[in-house]
Structure 1
């Protein structure tokens, strides 16, 4: 993850100021901002009121003149109104906390960090409010639908060393999943292929070319027609485990995207229906701590099914 210059506006109740990068060079700064998705629902008067109160700043912390000509690529910061969100009625358990690192056991349906319609109902905002620490930042991410072990840096100086562990593949990650029992499959099996995902596309896809996604899958236990699997990813492509399990003919229970999109399942949590969670759990992480040198292992206390 690339570190940006710190935002010129402080957090407000655990939530970062919104960053908008102007896309158009036509019209004024105000026109270009109102055309951005992050400003949907705002009027010119709304934006002007924020600017007049010093809540629309450029990256250097200077007040923005909304009537000035727009410059493509210019970042602008402002506070947007928080969306109306469905409350996620599950606890975010803390597994470990020290001056450098906070590790949590994330429930299903809770996003890692604010994005789109999910702002307050995210692990990052909940944790910042709970620990009263605005410096908290995720060092990796879990999909909103995936539960389990998630790590945050507790201070800015600690973020890069922990992120680098993931970039260098020095974190051993173990997942658990519940899925059908595959007929004719012999375990363990290692899947190697190339996965790509475009921004704005819900699903990842397989493509020909050099492999960038590797997972080893083991069958741990069976009950009736379902299996509990241990998933050991060697890489971290978006939706990698979900796509690999689906490709083997054993899609993970509760998956709204693979092998087929099920819109009613995908939309259910936003309407307060949490009855069919994706049965995928980030069960454990293990690594040598880059700051203390200690061997660390954190294990989720959650179960599948």
Structure 2
């Protein structure tokens, strides 16, 4: 379970940049808490839970310390710290572009996940930034794939967070991406591509289907490189994997895309072939000051990848 929402006040403090995780117990019957924990988290050793319990690091919503023989009942909420052994270091750094009393704007590298999940915890952008800046209320305002680099906005002021989130909800923010992909000689560019996107058969991919369009991208050529182009992509909507799927559907999958048009086996910790997709800039009218603001990534795509 992710870190608590702003309306759920965690009884455990942030530790080493990590907010406590929480879980509402589902329907079921268990003789004690340890039995529930070992059955629900089948990939976590019993000895790990015993160690966490011994350190008083498993508590209920009121902060009461739980023991291995504490009752486990449907509807109770428990808090704990998630841990990952032998997490692989990601050898790329984010750069801070801007910081004020409301926002933190960063230039994210390829391969770095934004938030903890799966096999990533400390090696995530959010945790790294919390440790670097000391901003404990830091929260991403929008999402960026692990494989994608570029500009990201974070809020660190809960009182004004909603104003910035509404920019994305109301689509009053302009985003420009750069992508390296094969040329499209049969297409008359620039063009606006629309389609209906839904979850694919695998949980991590999207697919297109018949029906009213719910995704839209404006596509133009920034520069030609023989059989390849540097494309400038301007998404109107913000569906998961929208740019990757749209380019693949047009017949120009983004260089080094391991999901589209075919999902390839996981490359694990191979950092040699970054997806050639970059969130180049974000422009919006600041909802508090009223000024026009643009933040631009200092990164560039790797044209040597065209020779791979």
* TM-score when normalising by structure 1: 0.90
Q: Does 1:11 align with 2:8?
A: no
Distance 1:199 1:165 in 2: 31
Kindly indicate whether the alpha-carbon contact (under 8 Å) linking 1:22 and 1:33 is maintained by their aligned counterparts in 2: no
CA contact under 8 A between 2:104 and 2:156: conserved in structure 1? yes
1:73–1:176 CA distance, 2 compared to 1 (3 A): farther
- Tell whether the 8 Å contact from 1:149 to 1:298 is kept in structure 2 after alignment: yes
Residue of structure 1 equivalent to 2:28: 25
Give the distance between the partners of 1:178 and 1:21, measured in 2 at CA: 44
Q: Distance in 1 between matches of 2:81 and 2:70?
A: 20
Gaps of 5+ in 1: none
Residue in structure 1 matched with residue 280 of structure 2 by the alignment: 283
Structure 1 residue 300: Cα displacement: 0.5
Contact 1:25 1:69 in 2 (8 A): no
Alpha-carbon distance, 1:86 to partner: 1.9
2:63 pairs with 1:61: yes
SS in 2 for 1:143: coil
Query: Over aligned residue pairs, what C-alpha RMSD do you find?
Result: 2.1
Give the distance between the partners of 1:41 and 1:64, measured in 2 at CA: 18
The match for 2:188 is 186
Aligned to 2:306: none
Partner residue of 2:263? 261
CA distance in 1, matches of 2:6, 2:191: 37
**Deviates further, 45-54 or 276-285:** 45-54
Q: CA deviation at 1:165?
A: 1.3
Other-structure match for 1:35: 39
The answer for the alignment partner of 2:216 in structure 1 is: 214
Alignment partner, residue 302 of structure 1 = 299
What SS does the corresponding residue of 2:101 show, helix, strand or coil?
A: coil
- Give the match's secondary structure for 1:156: coil
Structure 2 gaps of 5+ residues are 303-308
Counterparts of residues 98-109 of structure 1 (less than 5 Å): 98-109=100-111
Determine if contact 1:20/1:33 at 8 Å carries over to the other structure.
Answer: no
